[in-house]
Amino acid sequence: MRPPSLKYFYTQKNSTNNNNKTGIAKAGEPNNLLPMSPASLHMDPAVYATLRRKQRRLARENPGVLMAVARGANQAILECQHQFRNRRWNCSTKNFLRGKNLFGKIIDRGYRETAFAYAISAAGVAHNIAKGCSMGRLISCGCDPTSFKGKTPAKARGTHWKWGGCSHNLDYGMEFSRQFLDSREKAGDIQSTVNLHNNQAGRLAVANNMQVRCKCHGMSGSCELKTCWKVAPEFRMVGKTLKDRFRSAILVTQSNLGSVTPLTRIRGSRRRRPIDRQRQRKRDRHGRDGNMALNKKKKSRDLTKQLYYYQKSPNFCERDPYQDIPGTAGRRCNRTSPGGDGCASLCCGRGYNIVRQRRTERCRCKFHWCCFVQCQNCTVEEWITVCK
């Protein structure tokens, strides 16, 4: 999907608290959960126009999901900006929030950065939908009814325990993310094939980091019994996982323009081999192959979790309006750092200026009983270095 800007107003009236376990109302069929939807949706018309027919229908037939999608998109942007804060491309969105794409025209390219943008966006939607189900924000889903039945969580081993609480509904979150985001891709060309793969890689980053939380029961905290449930991971962990995948992303090519099956080239290897789509389909959502025993001595890379790209990235040094690349001029840098945030790297050899910056921040905060904190505003001046 080329993620649209998700700025809208949502109001819900006479909401019921029905708990549905039958799944997502698919686009093109009546909503069998809420035939007369009690929710009313109001969106910015300019933004609504960026959604495709299937996406609009999914939004209408699954009340409340657009708020979760918006939270997921915002979470994806913030996490992307955190992970890339010291790189030349830093997930800038300030010029694109009312346009078609959250990250600008770079989303239509095949760069490694594009792969990360797709993956983190899909992960954000799946993550927030899964949490929204368990928190009662969505009418069309509830707690995960199949919370890893029969498996003993590591935290509960050696004690009496049972599955309980309200597990985050990851299955629903991943399925909705797939239907909503993948609907914009037309299978067949290398761009769509790569985008669909990266969307799934993002969702797997959430699934593979699911965590167990347990609560003790008993007299005086004796923990005679534990109740455990599954929760989605902190999104920072998802971002870190995908940033690692970004560093080891796989360059894919195709033998000719008409080829549907791209060839993978793992960096550092000389062989090229086609992706085995039939084998990939047999893998479960955690990326494991059900037909092949894992060789513990020699583990191969699990391609389902990796990010794919098919174009070499530019250096992102200079402003390029055609690709919505802002360049690094004016970016703050660290003149003593040898890393990516250092002026030597970030300024691309153009040098830097030392300027005085004045900013206002809260200071001299005091706690007053009861109960509020009162602060003053202080003006701080400092010298900073910015790229020429």
Please report, for the chain, the start and end positions of each structural domain, with discontinuous segments joined by +. 8-289+301-309, 329-387
Check pLDDT > 70 for residue 169: yes
Residue scoring higher pLDDT (13 or 138)? 138
Q: What integer best gives the mean pLDDT of the chain?
A: 74
Q: How do residues 186-203 score in pLDDT, each as one tens digit? A: 767 888 889 999 999 999
pLDDT value at residue 128: 93
Q: What is the mean pLDDT of residues 91-116?
A: 76
Q: What residue type is 2 in one-letter code?
A: R
Give 2's pLDDT tier (boundaries 50, 70, 90).
Answer: low
- Please name every residue paired with 386 in a beta bridge, in sequence order, or none if there are none: 332, 353
What is the rounded distance in angstroms from the CA atom of residue 388 to the CA atom of residue 386?
7
| Banded model confidence at residue 62, pLDDT cuts 50, 70, 90 | confident
User: Bigger pLDDT: 299 or 47?
Assistant: 47
**Higher per-residue pLDDT: 220 or 359:** 359
pLDDT on residue 33:
26
User: Does residue 97 carry a pLDDT above 50?
Assistant: no
26 vs 176: CA distance, rounded Å: 9
The phi, psi pair for 353, rounded to 5°, reads -110, 150
In this prediction, residue 147 carries a pLDDT of 58
Segment 160-166 mean pLDDT: 70
Q: Which residue has the higher pLDDT, 286 or 169?
A: 169
Q: Which residue has the higher pLDDT, 104 or 241?
A: 241
Residue 49 has pLDDT above 80, yes or no: no
DSSP for 77-131, please give it.
HHHHHHHTTTSSS----TTTTTSS-TTGGGGGS--HHHHHHHHHHHHHHHHHHHH
pLDDT reported for residue 240: 95
* Least confidently predicted of 33-37, 85-89, 347-351: 33-37
Per-residue pLDDT band for 296 (boundaries 50, 70, 90) equals very low
Q: How far is CA 257 from the centre of its chain?
A: 30
pLDDT score at 9: 29
Q: How confident is the model at residue 160 (pLDDT cuts 50, 70, 90)?
A: low
Q: Where are the alpha helices (DSSP H) in the chain?
A: 45-48, 53-61, 65-83, 112-134, 170-182, 190-207, 235-247, 277-282, 343-346
Instruction: Specify the CATH class of 329-387 in words.
Output: alpha beta
Q: pLDDT value at position 153?
A: 59
**pTM (predicted TM-score):** 0.72
pLDDT at residue 19 is higher than 70? no
Model confidence pLDDT, tens digit, residues 231-282: 899 999 999 999 999 999 999 886 532 343 444 333 333 334 444 544 544 4
pLDDT > 70: what percent of the chain?
66
- Binned at pLDDT 50, 70 and 90, residue 79 comes out as very high
Query: Mean per-residue pLDDT for 15-21?
Result: 38
- Decide if pLDDT at 138 tops 60: yes
Average pLDDT over residues 53-67: 84
Specify which of 53-67, 100-114, 196-210, 223-237 reaches the highest per-range mean pLDDT. Answer: 196-210
Q: For residue 222, how many C-alpha atoms fall within 13 Å in the half-sphere facing its CB?
A: 6
